[in-house]
């Protein structure tokens, strides 16, 4: 049977719809566009590359030989060092380009460039984000029952089969959660020459909330929900199946608000990084609320 064309008005953005259908995709384009620009800027900031080498760690005299935070902690914007260690999530886990296992041609890169590819891949292939950016940036579609500028939608074929990697990115994203937990742990451990002390600063609370939001986003992932509950036709017969059922219910609950977890967690990652950046670059204090030195 041949294709049946719907009686749509023709011409970009033409439609019989009377609601403000364009508001959602426009707001999403602005939001995602801003986040992508900010993350790219910050990803380059600590690199030893063109004019970026005037900023951040690479402007340090000992950048070329730096192997750890301490070597560049005076001038880096990746973390706050005020007795404890509050690391920006954009740079976690911290991989210095000077590490011996990294090829010499990559020494100009910033630590963020080594690891941002995985969170970016996870979000870029996320089922929710795909819907959002296909509409916001590529007009595929422009909106339901709204005429679009390009050819008919032909599905996720060709280069877009790469979206099938989402489950792999999800497995990697799961590894980030214990790493971010460790970062939070470091942020509440204060040290000086007299010993180790527990403390909670504004920065550590920001990292904790970041961990909670990213956990909500990751455990509500459609692929995670399928891993824990897919292919099961027995929820009660064994301890494992009862555990799987509980996990599936938990993931389903989070999945119902996956859009919210996706958008708010993205904002909070950037905000956490922004807070650490301004504390380091503009001399603000990360207030210690409990304990500390
Ligand atoms: S579907 Fe959104 S993170 Fe997996």
- Kindly report, residue by residue over 73-96, the tens digit of the pLDDT: 778 899 999 999 999 999 999 888
Residue 254 near ligand 1, beta carbon < 6 Å = no
Residue 170 near ligand 1, beta carbon < 6 Å = yes
**What's the mean pLDDT in 120-135?**
96
Please tell me which residue, 39 or 114, carries the higher pLDDT value. Answer: 39
75 in a structural domain? yes
248 in a structural domain? yes
Counted domains in the chain: 1
Asked if 71 and 65 touch (Cβ cutoff 8 Å), the reply is yes
Owning domain of residue 269:
23-291
142 in a structural domain? yes
Q: Provide the b/e sequence for 23-43 (b: ≥16 CB within 10 Å).
A: eebeebeeebeebeeebeebb
**Separation of CA 251 and ligand 1 centre (Å):** 11
Residue 214 near ligand 1, beta carbon < 6 Å = no
| Among the ranges given (48-52, 240-244, 289-293), the one the predictor scored with the smallest mean pLDDT | 48-52
Tell me which of 221, 226, 259 to substitute to probe ligand 1's pocket, judged by most ligand atoms within 8 Å of the beta carbon: 221
Asked if 283 and 256 touch (Cβ cutoff 8 Å), the reply is no
pTM of the model: 0.91
**Separation of CA 144 and ligand 1 centre (Å):** 22
- The percentage of the chain sitting over the pLDDT mark of 70, rounded to a whole number, equals 98
């Amino acid at each position: 049977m041949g294709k049946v064309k719907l009686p749509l008005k023709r011409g970009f953005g033409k439609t019989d719809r009377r609601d403000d259908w364009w508001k959602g995709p426009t707001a999403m384009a602005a939001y995602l566009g801003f986040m992508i620009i900010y993350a790219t800027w910050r990803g380059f900031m600590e690199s030893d590359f063109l004019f970026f080498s005037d900023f951040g760690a690479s402007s340090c005299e000992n950048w070329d030989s730096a192997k750890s935070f301490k070597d560049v902690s005076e001038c880096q914007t990746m973390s706050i060092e005020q007795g404890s260690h509050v690391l920006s999530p954009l740079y976690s886990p911290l991989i210095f380009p000077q590490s011996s296992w990294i090829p010499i041609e990559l020494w100009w890169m910033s630590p963020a460039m080594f690891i941002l590819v995985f969170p970016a891949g996870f979000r870029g292939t996320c089922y929710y984000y795909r819907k959002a950016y296909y509409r916001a940036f590529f007009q595929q579609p422009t909106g339901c029952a709204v005429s679009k500028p390009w050819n008919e939608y032909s599905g996720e074929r060709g280069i877009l089969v790469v979206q099938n990697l989402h489950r792999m990115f999800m497995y990697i994203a799961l590894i980030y959660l214990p790493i971010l937990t460790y970062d939070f742990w470091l942020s509440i451990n204060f040290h000086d020459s007299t010993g180790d002390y527990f403390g909670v600063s504004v920065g550590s609370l920001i990292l904790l909330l970041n961990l909670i939001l990213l956990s909500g986003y990751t455990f509500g992932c459609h692929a995670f929900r399928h891993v824990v509950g897919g292919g099961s036709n027995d929820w009660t017969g064994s301890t494992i199946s009862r555990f799987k059922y509980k996990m599936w219910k938990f993931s389903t609950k989070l999945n119902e608000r996956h859009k919210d977890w996706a958008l708010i967690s993205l904002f909070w990652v950037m905000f956490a990084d922004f807070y650490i950046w301004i504390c380091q670059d503009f001399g603000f204090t990360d207030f210690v609320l409990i304990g500390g030195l």
